[in-house]
């Protein structure tokens, strides 16, 4: 298998897993039925599902704490772009400040995208073991959600397995 094919398959797996965790947690916390999952082509958000029978598109992002952690979680070497972003995060020794910096960078980057979708939510899956729903909720007022973005809602799966739940960042 070519590395691109392997990387592409890995990306789909991570997106699918993040979407499943989000959907399970969302349904549990809100009581709204969210079902089915399928992957989309690049012009559309990563994943689609049905929220109470209506199509909902999910753009998926992952948040890592360090280059080493991302490599361990992904089981491979990172792209130069991902490595550079993680190195920028690592310069800050305060884990909560790193969380804020990383979240704000993801939100800024995703806000610039445009999707062929009527209803799209951004779901960010946190992979850093020190960050939980409580710490994210505590820092919520400091998270900089851009004024203009294509998302109806923005959520974060607060830990790798969604054990501490999900946190809504917008609205």
pLDDT tens-digit map of 128-171? 887 889 988 988 888 999 999 999 999 999 998 999 999 999 99
The phi and psi torsions of 95 (rounded to 5 degrees) equal: -60, -35
Contact predicate 106/124, CB 8 Å: yes
The pTM assigned to this predicted structure is 0.81
Contact predicate 60/20, CB 8 Å: no
The predicted-structure confidence for 33-91, as pLDDT tens digits, reads as follows 999 888 877 668 889 999 999 999 999 999 876 666 666 666 666 667 666 665 665 55
């Amino acid at each position: 298998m070519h590395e691109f094919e392997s990387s592409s398959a890995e990306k789909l797996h991570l997106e699918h897993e993040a979407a499943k965790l989000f959907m399970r947690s969302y349904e549990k916390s809100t009581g709204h039925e969210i079902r089915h999952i399928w992957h989309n082509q690049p012009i559309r958000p990563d994943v689609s599902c049905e929220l109470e029978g209506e199509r909902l598109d999910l753009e998926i992002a992952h948040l890592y704490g360090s280059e080493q952690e991302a490599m361990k979680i992904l089981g491979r070497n990172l792209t130069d772009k991902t490595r550079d972003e993680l190195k920028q995060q690592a310069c800050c020794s305060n884990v909560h400040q790193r969380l804020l910096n990383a979240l704000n960078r993801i939100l800024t980057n995703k806000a610039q995208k445009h999707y062929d979708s009527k209803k799209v939510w951004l779901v960010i899956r946190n992979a850093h073991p020190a960050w939980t729903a409580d710490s994210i909720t505590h820092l919520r007022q400091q998270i900089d959600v851009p004024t203009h973005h294509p998302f109806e809602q923005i959520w974060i799966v607060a830990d790798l397995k969604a054990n501490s739940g999900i946190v809504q960042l917008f609205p």
